[in-house]
Copies of this chain bind each other. A is one copy, B any other.
């Protein structure tokens, strides 16, 4: 597809996926006078706010072609978009980020191989295609590890923790006998994420990196500032920028990293855990703490607009509302200074992200 000049206000951007990330992308686009068309195989909360919605399978190429004809550019809110779907769309309309980012980020093995190939530290990993290769690795490594499916993993799904004496056959069965990656469990001081945005013209900017804490494999809380020293912040941004440029990435890219601590030499200190070719839960605080949020900057990049400043005016804490935690909505709404976000996802099922709360504090640095 030819390069876009900036899409004028009033243009329509297509989004694959209809979850809360899509919903917040639609709301950010609306501020700029941009309309959205949501395409998803099931109904989702983004459809409540989008100008247009299509519910159709991701392999319905007629529906995808109609979708492409109704929009001026396309993006996606999740990395498990089938590649054939992305490639079909990319032939008809500008897709940002492109199919390469999807191809790399949706497959844990491709992702780790790609990042390691850029000279950026990743957790030690190996390919696992059967129980025998897993058994050999467990015996050889003699370490605590995590076995993860290559495809379709998120929020701790499709993975299992192993010790050196775990039974390989059982573990491989537990993840559904799928192509997988075995990762060495590393001891880290904290997890941070880089929320980097790259414009269609190659301009790069990044939000300050939050520190993230997880509960049961799901992000529970992001805090900004993370306390990273300036030289450390520069290194994590440099890693993320190298990844974005290697992917010729356009949009918001998230890179989750483990901080091994300041006793480790700075070039080895930050280990990439995973990347997400999209806006990210750990960047929700940018809605309140920055003049231009991660969602708006993603849509600006997709539309070929100038990026907005990533600087923050306030410190912030973002806490997810998982499952039944959302039932406290009335109390949270009454909390002075709390910004409550509810995704209108229906039943508050366990482990379902139902909303989040952001609290601001005066800027400390």
Q: Of the candidates B27, B35, B314, which one forms a contact with A30 in the assembled complex, judged by CB atoms under 8 Å apart?
A: B27
Q: Which residue of B lies closest to A340 (CB)?
A: B32
Q: Residue A346 contacts which of B10, B313, B346 (CB distance < 8 angstroms)?
A: B10
CA separation between A292 and B49, bound complex, in Å? 20
Q: How many copies does the complex hold?
A: 2
Choice from B9, B314, B330 contacting A305 with Cβ under 8 Å: B330
Chain B residue nearest in CB terms to A291: B339
Residue numbers in B under 8 Å from A9 (CB-CB): 326, 329, 342, 344
C-alpha spacing A79/B336, complex, angstroms = 30
Q: Distance (Å) between the CB of A140 and the closest chain B CB?
A: 50
Q: Verify if A309 is at the interface (C-beta below 8 Å from B).
A: yes
A176 at the interface (CB under 8 A from B): no
- Which residues from chain B contact A300 at a C-beta distance below 8 Å? 333
List A9-26 residues whose CB lies under 8 Å from chain B: 9-10, 23, 26
Query: Does any Cβ of B come within 8 Å of A155's Cβ?
Result: no
Q: Which of A257-292 contact B (CB under 8 A)?
A: 288, 291-292
- Which of B26, B32, B48 is within 8 Å of A342, CB to CB? B32
Are the C-beta atoms of A48 and B48 separated by less than 8 Å?
no
B48 touches A35 (CB 8 A): yes
Cβ contacts A297-334/B at 8 Å (1 or 0 each)? 00010000110110101100000000000100110011
Q: What is A's interface to B at a CB cutoff of 8 Å? A: 6, 9-10, 23, 26-27, 30-35, 48-49, 51, 288, 291-292, 300, 305-306, 308-309, 311, 313-314, 326, 329-330, 333-334, 336-344, 346, 355, 360, 362
